[in-house]
Amino acid sequence: MKEQQVLQKILSKFPKKKILVVGDFMMDRFIWGKVSRISPEAPVPVVVVDHEDFRLGGAANVVNNIHYLGGKVILCGVVGDDEMGQRIMNELAEKEIETEGIFVEAGRQTTVKTRIFANQQQVVRIDREKTDHMKGSTSRSVSKYLFKKIEDSDGIILSDYGKGLLNRKLIRAIIRKARESRRLVMVDPKFKDYSVYRGATVITPNTKEASEASGIPITDELSLERAGGKLLKRLRCNALVITRGEEGMAIFESHQEPHFVGTVAKEVFDVTGAGDTVIGTMALALAAGANIKRAAELANYAAGIVVGKMGTATATRNELIRVINERP
């Protein structure tokens, strides 16, 4: 069977797979405009706004990617009782994605990342967020819902953006329960102490995160291999996937040589949210029976699609099929 056929067979199983996404739900706001002059008040450009739009971000973008790839998704997260929290709920509902696992906490600021673009280039990013841990009542509601849903899923994604949902105790409990239930757990890490993720199925740090967690400055392929090998041994995960931006990915598995996946992006316009696309695609592929190398290959194709779009973007199942068919 040709490689394209193998990948398409994996893709055909996506609609039957259900992924539980646990993490920090946020809204990405984009303001688009033009610059024609410098402010007389300070040496900064004056951006004349043309239009703005809002897109699901963080864990909500992981959900969005799984949805557009044809998979089923269960959500678990927290938003504030504010306009942006309601907007997230509304957008998910419009896509007919069940929102019962999104808990609204009074007085909490829903995370909003505002990116201002002028002449197609990002000028500045403004973040509004609250990173405190959840209130006790919210935490109990989240835990009760979460542990009821783990066995209903084919796999779990921990989409950690450090905004207060995934604390050490909850992460350890999720991994323990998932292992008992024989469910895969994929982690997009944020904690500097990676021991909290020990025992997860796959962990997907970027180069900077892997360098900090391993204590090895990654400057070339040799230092990358040393850092990846050290983390894999320490974390006892099935695989470690280091995402390398425009250089693709590096996959580390026990008793195997590192495997490198080159980028397939033809043009890179914006890398916002590409990591969300990678982890969502890989989780679906692994749940569909793919090995880690083929899952990473599919995720790489999906990432190549989204970085060719401006703003937080998704790859659809049809787009993924098309790029697979176009491969030499």
Q: What residues act catalytically?
A: 276
CA nearest to 74, candidates 63, 59, 85 = 63
Distance CA 229, CA 232 (A): 5
Of 277, 285, 279, 282, give the one whose Cα is nearest residue 313.
277
Is residue 200 within 8 A of residue 237, CB to CB? The reply is yes
Q: Provide the CB-side half-sphere exposure for 202 (13 A, CA).
A: 29
Cβ neighbors of 38 (< 8 A, separation 6 or more) are 44, 45, 46
Helix residue spans in 95-151 (DSSP H): 136-149
Q: Are 202 and 240 in contact (CB under 8 A)?
A: yes
Distance of alpha carbon 306 from alpha carbon 312, whole angstroms: 8
DSSP 211-245: HHHHT----SHHHHHHHHHHHHHHHT-SEEEEE-G
